[in-house]
Structure 1
Amino acid sequence: MKKLSLVLAVALMSVFSIAPIQAAEKPTTVPGCKTPTAKAHAPATVKEPMSVAKALPKTMTIDTNCGAIVISLLTNKAPLTITKLSALARAKYFDLSFCHRLTTEGLFVLQCGDPTASGSGNPTGWKGYKDENLPANKANNYPVGTVAMANSGPGTNGSQFFIIYADTTLGPNYTIWGKVTKGLDLVKKIGAVGAYKLNASDNKPYYANDGFPIQTVEIRKVSVK
């Protein structure tokens, strides 16, 4: 998945406290979402597990300012990925970070897992790890509810992941490691509100089909069990 630039992300951090779209044509918030308190920050240093854990969790819960998203983990199909993500979750790596990317046309993705909110952040010192459980190269190979790793090429997985909120077709390049069992309706509402970018000439926000979520999504806590 392509990533937002650091320059754009820094600019986005400065407009969290104002309405992203002035005189908006559609809602700019999802009812029930609370005001975020997080700030973009450098990725934490977390010891990277180099082999699959003997005991793997079955569920991941992402508590956000808009509600909980519960993911059933595909431990048999992506054990290394789940080992890595579980280590990050237990180290509170994801806590108080933002979901930094939303796509609303062609691809239907909410992307999270980067504390810098730039689209380029990953755990300090990690060099990337192998792909697992890649789908077939066919239509709708990333169906609604799928949770998969974002990467910059083969073997570059880190901490960034995306949630599919409508059937999506992608190259078979992204490890599928979970399925949303609760909170998919919430992600769909965030997708319906839309995404925005900033105009470079006047720094004003405008609707975009690939950008930062208009409804700010803050990860408050990630837990596994």
Structure 2
Amino acid sequence: MSNKREREYERRRQEKWQARQAEAALRRRRRVVAGSVVGALVLVIGIVAAVVAGSSDDTPAAYATDGAPLDATAPAAEQTPAAEPTNSEAVPDPALAEGREWTGELTLNAGALGITLDGAAAPQAVANFVTLAENGFFDGTTCHRLTTENIYVLQCGDPDATGMGGPGYSWGPIENAPADDTYPAGTIAMARQSNNGSSMGSQFFIVYETSKIPSDQAGGYTVFGQVTSGLDVVKAIADAGTAQGSSDGSPVSDVIIEGVKIQ
């Protein structure tokens, strides 16, 4: 990253951080509400179907009229999830991934993670993540979801910390999903709505222990990066458990992304 880009990144990061701090109290209140929603979701569709459900804030067609996620166990004909991305003109150009490996650091309030991103295997996901990171989008956001049974992930990237937020657009299709549905420890992948391969936005999940995550009607989940160091930070968060005392909920202590630097 050039000095000019670094200065611009720091300026944007500081502005974003200040805005996020001002909204912190509101996010915490929303987080409590989100925990209740997660609990209800688990009762309806189970942890395997629910764990990697993510949404853009502009994809209402994938939700029932009351705002609750559609039941993933219902027949496909009853679900009618949105098949097309929303606000496609706002989605970063996949060419920005440059078809190369990117390296960087994702800093949580609990510690730093070294990461690599595969711009060749998942160009749209990497272009999206790099663009959001350089704009400070993730700074000050809360990792809102932790699962500790059957599937072992920490989910982040929602500016509202509700599991319903996003960057104002969605995109697809799915890229670089594992053929055997196995996501090794350290995998970084995109969250999305069940059965909707065009519903990715900004939410992503970090796999801290190798997990088998079954594909649904849309396929698997876009793998775009790896944690190369600091996975023990995420494992420690998982070891502390959830605020609800369940195997699927918000981390017991706030997990905040302080910044993401990519080069």
One-letter amino acid of the structure 2 residue matched with residue 185 of structure 1: D
TM superposition score normalised by structure 1? 0.73
Q: Give 1:72 shift.
A: 1.1
Following the alignment from structure 2 to structure 1, what is the Cα–Cα distance between the partners of residues 257 and 28?
20
Structure 2, unmatched stretches of 5+, are 1-26, 34-56, 59-86
What is the rounded CA distance, in whole Å, between the counterparts of 2:135 and 2:128 in structure 1?
11
Q: How many residues are treated as equivalent by the alignment?
A: 179
Q: 1:210 to 1:9 in 2, by over 3 A?
A: farther
Q: What is the alpha-carbon distance in structure 2 between the residues aligned to residue 123 and residue 115 of structure 1? A: 8
The structure where strand makes up a greater share of residues is: 1
| Pairwise CA distance, 1:57 | 5.8
SS, match of residue 95 in structure 2? coil
1:11–1:73 distance in 2 versus 1, CA, 3 Å: closer
**CA distance, structure 1, for counterparts of residue 184 and residue 97 of structure 2:** 29
**Residue in structure 1 matching 2:197, options 124, 147, 154:** 154
Match of 1:108, SS state, is strand
Which runs of structure 1 show a deviation greater than 4 angstroms over 4 or more consecutive aligned residues? none
Task: Report the AA paired with residue 131 of structure 1.
Answer: I
Asked if structure 2 preserves the Cα contact closer than 8 Å seen for 1:69 and 1:183, the reply is: yes
1:220 aligns with 2:258: yes
Q: Judging changes above 3 Å, is the alpha-carbon distance between structure 1 residues 213 and 11 closer, same or farther for their aligned structure 2 residues?
A: closer
Look up the match of 1:211: 249
Q: Aligned match of 1:134 in 163, 166, 177?
A: 177
The within-5 A match list for 1:4-43 is 10=30, 12=32
Find the counterpart in structure 2 of residue 182 from structure 1: 229
Residue of structure 1 equivalent to 2:156: 112
Q: Work out the CA distance in 1 between the residues paired with 2:248 and 2:189.
A: 18
Question: CA RMSD for the aligned pairs?
Answer: 2.6
**TM-score scaled by structure 2?**
0.63
For 2:166 and 2:197, the matched residues in 1 are separated by: 15
Query: Residue 143 in 1 paired to residue 184 in 2?
Result: yes
How far 1:129 sits from its partner (Å)? Answer: 2.3
Report the equivalent of 2:53.
none
